[in-house]
Amino acid sequence: MAGNSFGQLFRITTFGESHGGAVGCVIDGCPPGISITEAEIQKELDRRKPGQSKITTPRKEADTIKILSGYFEGKTTGTPILLIAYNADVKSEDYLELKEAYRPSHADFTYEAKYGFRDWRGSGRASARETLARVAAGAIAQKYLKEKLGIEILSYIDQVGDIKAAVDFETVTPEAIESNIIRCPDQAAAEKMIALVEKVKSEGDSVGGVIQGVIRNVPPGLGEPVFDKLSADLGKGMLSINAVKGFEIGSGFAGVSGRGSEHNDPLEVRDGKIRTTKNDAGGTYGGISSGETIHFRVAFKPVSTIAKEQDTVTRDKRPTKLSAAGRHDPCVLPRAVPIVDAMSALVVMDHHLRHKAQNG
């Protein structure tokens, strides 16, 4: 099957290219009766949209979401939901050069290797504009998870380049995340990160970083071993986001250097519930949620479309130089925070419905 759908019971299929007519998705399997407005979905999209601050691309796209089906009197009806945003600020001439020359480390060469030709305008389907649809669907899932189950989803910037934040993921609040333009709750680190992004931007270059994902109040028992472990599906969801190069849950790669006696999370009974006294596992054992906070890290590369001149080749295999025109993000991390939230919501929502379907 072509890979445009995600989830089993809460299933989204996204469609659209960056400079085509529209971007959107169909959600099939959404529970009926979720109260949601276009404005609530729009709030999440506005966190993702370009042109929101001096450190994001100046591209102006309204990203105005419309709910075209599966919705009546302010509520989801249980039938397929179509969410759509029509494309407006289309400047395809900025991409003319990319019709012939492949951008190093972008998807130009591989899309053409796969499909035989490609929509080169605005990176086509490989553009992160597609993630708008995930954020819209994720907003509906987040609303359900929060209101029905008390599950709270958030994420924030943990690192940009070599600058690391010091944040306690257990206590961080959405307000602290939104308190600055880079979405890092450590204010001192945030200032340094913003300065770094501005410097990199002035040099015509890009910089990567790490987003910390947090999911609180997930009940024990979600996850479908062996292939659809909660941790595995979170990994797939995150790795499907543009520019993501790494995913780790809990102690992740750093955990390998300690001993089992240090790494094990001791169990205890607290308020009548089985709990752990620490959470190096990241909130799952055997791919099933433990009831502790799920926490993971997602690595984003420095994105490839940069103004600095680079060596590349053309479609007809001639060596050439490329310095990209157009309006690109010097650091995609601040705009990727709502995308990480959306993928978390889609995974947990799907697993909640799957757990209910089998266990009742």
* Size, binding site for ligand FMN by CB under 6 A: 19
Q: Which helix (H) or strand (E) holds 40?
A: helix 38-48
Q: Which of 47, 106, 118, 355 binds ligand FMN (CB under 6 A)?
A: 106
Binding pattern for the stretch 293-332 against ligand FMN, x by CB under 6 A and - elsewhere:
--------x-xxx----------------------xx--x
CB 89 within 8 A of CB 96: no
207 preceded by a cis bond (ω within 30 of 0):
no
- Residues sharing a CB contact under 8 Å with residue 310, sequence separation 6 or more, in sequence order: 104, 321, 322, 323
d(CA 81, CA 347): 18
Task: Give whichever of 294 and 336 is closer to ligand FMN, judged by the CB atom.
Answer: 336
Instruction: Compute the distance between CA of residue 112 and CA of residue 105 in angstroms, rounded to an integer.
Output: 14
Which DSSP letter does residue 180 get? Answer: S
CB 350 within 8 A of CB 9: yes
Report which residue's Cβ sits closest to ligand FMN. 305
Residues 222-251 that bind ligand FMN (CB under 6 A): 241-243
Among 118, 121, 201, 335, the residue binding ligand FMN under the rule CB under 6 A is 335
Q: Which is nearer to ligand FMN, 218 or 241 (CB)?
A: 241
CA distance 201 to 178: 22
Distance CA 335, CA 277 (A): 34
Q: Tell me if 155 contacts ligand FMN by CB under 6 A.
A: no
Q: Which is nearer to ligand FMN, 106 or 355 (CB)?
A: 106
Positions in 177-216 near ligand FMN (CB under 6 A): none
Least distance (Å) between residue 88 CB and ligand FMN = 17
Binding to ligand FMN (CB under 6 A): which residues in 110-139? Answer: 126-128
**Between 83 and 303, CB nearer to ligand FMN:** 303
Instruction: State the minimum distance, in angstroms, from the CB of residue 204 to ligand FMN.
Output: 13
Where in 265-294 is the site for ligand FMN (CB under 6 A)? none
Which one, 250 or 302, has the nearer CB to ligand FMN?
Answer: 302
Q: Which of 345, 351, 349 is nearest to 44 (CA)?
A: 345
Nearer to ligand FMN, 242 or 276 (CB): 242
Cα four-point dihedral sign 191, 192, 196, 197: negative
Burial class of 317 by CB neighbour count within 10 A (0 to 12, 13 to 18, 19+): exposed
Which residue type is seen at 325? A
Which one, 292 or 329, has the nearer CB to ligand FMN?
Answer: 329
| Residue numbers at the binding site for ligand FMN (CB under 6 A) | 57, 106-107, 126-128, 241-243, 301, 303-305, 328-329, 332, 335-336, 339
